[in-house]
Amino acid sequence: MRYRSPIVTYRWFIWGLSNGVFVLVIAGGFWFGLAASTVKPSPLLGLIIIFEIAILWAAVRLRRKARGFRLSEAKHGDDVQRELRRELLVRFRRVAVAEGVAATVAVGLCVALNRMELMWAALGLVVSLHFAPLARIFRLWLYYGLATLGSLACILAMVSFTGPNRILFLGATLGATMWLTAVYAIVRADRLAEQAVAIFASELSKQHAAQNA
């Protein structure tokens, strides 16, 4: 079944969702690899690679559902539709810039305070928190869960662990959180698309009603 909205079509949502899944799979593999680096020799590294390839393959299959989509489709529709779409893209870019700035500040603080052992946890916190505004932008509630669980893991790593155990805990929990989110997004993609597209359609109706009032 395909769901359509004058703001976001099914294909557009799936295209964006698959982009997010690719990022989550790669980032999750990085965090798992960081955790595995604390155990030498690391027999888990091969297992991590196998799982990452498997999830990436599933992500590619998800992407095929958006086959033929072009971002230029955002220019279609009336003035209200185009403005709402433009706002989505602008807000997404702002979040990406804010994430980069926050990551730079986090590393800078670790250097200034001579607490480089907290650098990975600080970066993980920045990455986790940036999913909260993305959840609002894309009407994707599962990103709120990722932001919450990831942030809690980073804070716990900072205050409850030291040395290699901090990296092991941080990498394993962030990696698992990202991969589980990616798998859920793949399995429930159609349902997530239905919910998000319905929300966008409702918001467009309200905008048109306000404009015509």
- Tell me the residue length of the chain: 213
How far CA 6 is from CA of 13, 147, 201, in Å, comes to 12, 29, 7
Please give the Cα distance from 107 to 94 (Å, whole number). Answer: 20
Residue 136 in this model has a pLDDT that exceeds 80: yes
Confidence class for position 46, pLDDT limits 50, 70, 90: confident
Can you read off the two tokens belonging to residue 160?
């409850």
Please give the Cα distance from 66 to 64 (Å, whole number). Answer: 5
The count of C-alpha atoms lying within 13 angstroms of the C-alpha of 58, restricted to the half-sphere facing its C-beta, is: 18
Confidence class for position 9, pLDDT limits 50, 70, 90: confident
Question: Do 150 and 127 form a contact (C-beta atoms < 8 A)?
Answer: yes
Please give the Cα distance from 126 to 120 (Å, whole number). Answer: 10
Residue 67 in this model has a pLDDT that exceeds 70: yes
Kindly give, in sequence order, each residue whose CB lies less than 8 Å from that of residue 51, ignoring residues fewer than 6 positions away.
179
pLDDT value of position 38 = 87
